[in-house]
Amino acid sequence: MTDPRPKHLLDFQGWSPERLSGLLDNADTMLNVLARPVKKVPALQGLTVCTAFFENSTRTKVSFELAARRMSADVVSFAAGASSVSKGESLRDTVETLTAYKMDAYIVRHTASGAAHLVARYSGKPVINAGDGRRAHPTQALLDAYTIRQEYGDLRGKRVTIIGDVLHSRVARSNAELLPKLGAEVVLCGPATLLPLELGTMPGVTLTTDPREAVRGAHAVMALRLQNERMQGGYLASLADYIATYQVNESLLSEAEDGAIVLHPGPMNRDVEISGEVADGERSRIVKQVENGQAVRMSVLYHLLVGRD
C-alpha cells in the first residue's frame, strides 16, 4: 500500500478504500483469535491504551477494552463522570494529565463534535474516535460494513438503507462516508425534520422521506435509534405517527430484497424504530454486529499501533 498510514481514526478522511478493505480483512484474523480457547495474542504487549469516555457507552467501551486486552495491552479506563472533570477540569487539561502517565493511544467518546480531534492535538498520540457528538463514529461504521460484507462477500453494488433519526446520528454520517468508499450505495430515510439535506451531497448517498421507496431493493436495512436525549422537541408530529410510518417491521421489509439483513447499532428502542419481532427475527444481524465489533476494533488497534515506529 503506497498511501501514508493515518495516525488516527477520527473519521475516514485520508483512509483509502484499499486500506479500509485491508482493515476488514484483518478483522477475519481477529475473529479467528476470538474463536480460540485462549483468546489472547501479544501484539500490543508493553503498550497502554486509555479509553476516555465522556459520554455513556456499553458496546463501544466494553469491546474496545476487551480488544486491547485480547492483544495484551494495559488498559486505563477513564470515566469522566467519576473524575475531576466533575470539578470543572477542561478536556485539554484532562488529556495533558493522562498523557503525563505515558499513554500510547486514546479511544475517545464525547458529546461534543470534534472532541477526538482536540485529544489528538493535545496528546500527540494515536486517537480513535469512539463517537463525537453527531459527527462521526467510524468503528461502528466499520463493524457495520464488516457485518454486511460477511453476508454478501463484497459491498460493491449493495444497497444499504438507513432509516430513522439521521439528524442526530453519527452512525449514519460515518456509514454515509464509509460505505460508498467500499462500493455500496447508501439511502438515508426519515421524516424531513430528521433528514439533513447536506448529507444528500455526499458521493453515493441519496435521501428520501418515503420509507417504502428507501427499502425497495435494499440488501441491508439499518434502523437508527430515536435519540430522545438530543431532541428539544418539535421534530415529530407524534411518536405514534413516527412508528406507523418509519418503524422497521415485517411489513416495511416486504419491499426489500429477499434475504435482506437488518442492522441496528444499538442501543435499541424496541417497538419504536424497530419491531421486537424483526429485532429478534431471522433477518436480524444485531447480535452479530456486537460480536464483530470486538474483532473489528482489534484490527483497528493493530493497524494504528503495531509496526508504526
- Are 110 and 137 spatial neighbours (Cβ–Cβ below 8 Å)? no
Give min distance, CB of 79 to ligand CP, in A: 13
In eight-state DSSP terms, residue 248 is B
- Residue (122 or 138) nearer to ligand CP, CB: 138
Establish whether 94 is an annotated binding residue.
Answer: no
Cis peptide before 267 (omega within 30 of 0): yes
Q: What is the DSSP letter of 133?
A: T
- Least distance (Å) between residue 60 CB and ligand CP: 3
Residue 228 sits in the site that holds ligand CP (CB under 6 A)? no
Describe the strand order of the beta sheet including 105-110 as a list of residue ranges: 74-79, 48-53, 105-110, 127-132
150 to 189, contacts with ligand CP by CB under 6 A? none
Minimum separation from the CB atom of position 161 to ligand CP (A) = 18
Number of chain positions touching ligand CP (CB under 6 A): 9
Residue 242 and residue 247: Cα distance in Å, rounded? 7
Q: Confirm or reject binding of residue 57 to ligand CP (CB under 6 A).
A: yes
Of the pair 190, 265, the CB lying nearest ligand CP is at 265
What residues numbered 243-282 form the site for ligand CP, per CB under 6 A? 265-267
Residue span binding ligand CP (CB under 6 A) among the ranges 53-61, 97-105, 159-167, 250-258: 53-61
Length of the chain in terms of residues written: 309
227 sits near ligand CP (criterion: CB under 6 A): no
**H-helix segments, the chain:** 17-34, 59-70, 91-100, 115-123, 138-152, 170-181, 211-215, 239-246, 250-253, 276-279, 286-305
What are the binding residues for carbamoyl phosphate?
A: 59-60, 109, 137, 140, 266-267
Binding footprint of ligand CP on the chain (CB under 6 A): 57-60, 131, 140, 265-267
